[in-house]
Amino acid sequence: MLCIYWLLCGKGVPDNRESTNEIRTELDRATDTKQDIADTATAIQDTVGELQDSIGKAETAIDTATGASQRFDQILGECQDIIEQIRNQPAK
């Protein structure tokens, strides 16, 4: 009896296997995309960390250079004072 019902009514039932496969494919793609986004976010975080380290090193280098420049100015001033003192000494 069930076979007769299927023969009479079953022909109008749409086949959803293809739609289900399409949905699975889309879900797989979405999962892959999600992983790609997560990987990209991790790479960005790593890059930001590296940039922050580089910025810290650059700031240290700037501080060192500034200190050296100030010390150079101080030494130059002392040298100029010594030269001026030598010039002002009476000739022998």
**How much is the pTM?**
0.53
Residue 49 has pLDDT above 90, yes or no: yes
**Residue that the structure tokens 């007769």 belong to:** 4
pLDDT tens, position by position, 5-25:
555 555 554 556 668 888 999
Residue 30 is predicted with a pLDDT of 96
Segment 37-57 shows an average pLDDT of 97
CA dihedral 15, 18, 22, 28 (to 10 degrees): 110
Residue 72 is predicted with a pLDDT of 97
Distance of CA 82 to the CA centre of its chain: 53
List the structure tokens of 75: 């030494």
